[in-house]
Structure 1
Amino acid sequence: MLPPRAYYFIGLNAVRVLSIVALLLVFSSNIVTLVNDVKAVNRFLEAGEASRIAAANNVTMTAALKSIDYMSGSTVPNQPAGPFWAVLNRLLIIAQTVILVMSEIGFPSQFFTKYFPVLGREFGLGALGVIQMLIGAAVLSHRVDTFTLVSAFFLFSVGCLNVLLGLIFRDGAKSKRSVTSWRDHAKSALPTHIGPVDVRPVVNAGAQYMGHKAPFDSPPPSFLSQLHHTGSSIHSTEKSPEKNSSGLGFGRQGEKAAAFQGYLLSKPIESLPKYAPARQ
């Protein structure tokens, strides 16, 4: 059973693949349409020139040529600068599909972050879907061949799906489908240390009575006299060696004496068994 994050990763990347395929289809179909439009414009210009030469005084034929809305077999309107705007429209659509494919691949990421932030990693899929819908609508608004029609409708459908995913996941959609973020998440789930770790606190008893920076340099005279008294008491008593080995027992004075001799005392962490009731 995979975690929900894995299903998000697979689903979003499947939509990404469909988006790239749709953009490539629109890219190729617009190149074909551009070539057909250029050929149709050349044929129209040749036919119009021949008609003007054959019927120089025929006003009816000249008016008929001017009344044609679109050049035959093309998407070019029969108006001033019509071929220029038609060709420019196709070139812009081709450039937009290239940019969107690069955005879906994620390369170069710094370029989109700096110049096209809405297509970068910080934004979701909503802006991408809107641009895809605009491209599809621009192509579908003209009479085109079957291949161009199907590819544009496919791109428009994928754009609607991206808008829906953008509304659901918002700005986290691209991070959920990113391969690098998946690897980073997998690395962060691994333990950062190997072997047991000693978590017991180390208590430096010498720091409790030393106020200067060097805790073991020049102890106070009162402590030296007390230590001398402790040494004499060790030699004078032999009744209980376990208890009187330090002369001061196990209290604060004993900790001070042990710290002065270079010993560090550690206290275990208080714990209760699992079956014991919690303290109130």
Structure 2
Amino acid sequence: MLPPRTYVFFGLNAVRILGIISMLLVFASSIFVLVHDVQAVNRFMAEASESDMQDCDYIPGSTVPNQPAGVFWAVVNRLLIIFQVIILILSEVGWPLAFFDRFFPVLGSAFGLGALGIFQALIGAAILSHHVDDFTLVTAFFLFAIGCLNMLLGLIFREGAKARRSITNWRAQAKSVLPSAEDFRPAFVRPNSSFVPSMFKSGAGEERAEKSGFGFGRQGEKAAGLKGFLISKPLESLPRYAPPPRSEGSRSNSPEPQFKSSKYAI
């Protein structure tokens, strides 16, 4: 049986793929509606009279309102929807992630899916508020449903939703057996540290000889003496349980032990 994080990973990525598909469909339908509106406005302006323009609220066969600058705002609306959909698709793909983290952080890696779901629901509601064709209606409703689902996932997983569905984090967790922890060891004892190799890097000539080191022998003492360092010989010491050493004078003055003769001696 797979661990729970596997099901969470595949579930979040399935919602991501569905969101990208829905936004691509909305992108295509917005271009289709934009072209259709422009054709309908041109046909209406060529055929309609002044009385027809005063009687209708919307230009027939389009989503353009029959009011001052109505065509302009209808075109701007579609262009803004297309631009927003492109931004949301790039945020779902994760490129460029540094741009979103710095200039648009609500769509970056530090935030969850709630803001993304709000944007998707707003775009879907803006499209559904107009009389559109069947294809645009279905794609907008699909996007609105995905936006509501993303808002729900944002409330459940909060800011960790994008980290849970990230492919790079998944690969890193799959490679590591133990959980990752910060290494508090000094730099010179770390296996992957560049501290030790940097100690032995040197140039050419005398600089290489000076940086290579002389060890702890006579050459090391000589090099240290030339630099002004004094190396003192450590004092000899004995353990506490050892008897104190005898001096030479006390050893010579002390009488030699005499052995008494015994009748058992040979």
Is residue 116–residue 147 contact of structure 2 (8 Å, CA) maintained in 1? Answer: yes
TM (norm. structure 2) is 0.69
Which whole-Å CA distance do the structure 1 matches of 2:140 and 2:25 have between them? 8
1:63 shift after superposition = 3.6
* Structure 1 pair 71–227 and aligned structure 2 pair: CA distance change class (3 A): farther
Match of 2:28 in 1: 28
Establish whether residue 179 from structure 1 lines up as the match of residue 195 from structure 2: no
Is residue 120–residue 143 contact of structure 2 (8 Å, CA) maintained in 1? Answer: yes
AA aligned to 1:119 is L
Match of 1:245 in 2: none
Which whole-Å CA distance do the structure 2 matches of 1:100 and 1:120 have between them? 11
* Structure 1 pair 171–191 and aligned structure 2 pair: CA distance change class (3 A): closer
**Superposition map of 1:119-268 within 5 A:** 119-189=107-177, 217-220=233-236, 223=238, 229=245
Question: Percent of pairs identical after alignment?
Answer: 61
Q: Unpaired runs of 5+ in structure 2? A: 181-229, 247-266
Establish whether residue 101 from structure 1 lines up as the match of residue 89 from structure 2: yes
1:40 shift after superposition = 0.6
Residue 100 of structure 2, aligned match among 95, 108, 112:
112
1:97 shift after superposition = 0.6
Residue 54 of structure 2, aligned match among 66, 81, 99:
66
Provide Cα deviations, 1:152-186, integer angstroms capped at 9, x if missing partner: 00000000000000000000000000001111222
Residue-pair matches, total: 197
* Structure 1 pair 135–181 and aligned structure 2 pair: CA distance change class (3 A): same
Which whole-Å CA distance do the structure 2 matches of 1:131 and 1:116 have between them? 13
Moved over 3 A (4+): 226-230
Match of 2:203 in 1: none
Is residue 53–residue 66 contact of structure 2 (8 Å, CA) maintained in 1? Answer: no
1:67 shift after superposition = 2.2
**Superposition map of 1:80-99 within 5 A:** 80-99=68-87
Establish whether residue 4 from structure 1 lines up as the match of residue 20 from structure 2: no
* Structure 1 pair 185–215 and aligned structure 2 pair: CA distance change class (3 A): farther
TM (norm. structure 1) is 0.65
Provide Cα deviations, 1:6-54, integer angstroms capped at 9, x if missing partner: 0100000000010000000000001000000000111111123xx3xxx
Which whole-Å CA distance do the structure 1 matches of 2:110 and 2:133 have between them? 38
1:91 shift after superposition = 0.5
* Structure 1 pair 70–2 and aligned structure 2 pair: CA distance change class (3 A): same
Match of 2:211 in 1: none
1:219 shift after superposition = 0.8
Match of 1:271 in 2: none
1:5 shift after superposition = 0.7
Which whole-Å CA distance do the structure 2 matches of 1:178 and 1:131 have between them? 21
1:229 shift after superposition = 3.7
* Structure 1 pair 215–86 and aligned structure 2 pair: CA distance change class (3 A): same
* Structure 1 pair 105–5 and aligned structure 2 pair: CA distance change class (3 A): same
AA aligned to 2:33 is T
* Structure 1 pair 227–45 and aligned structure 2 pair: CA distance change class (3 A): farther
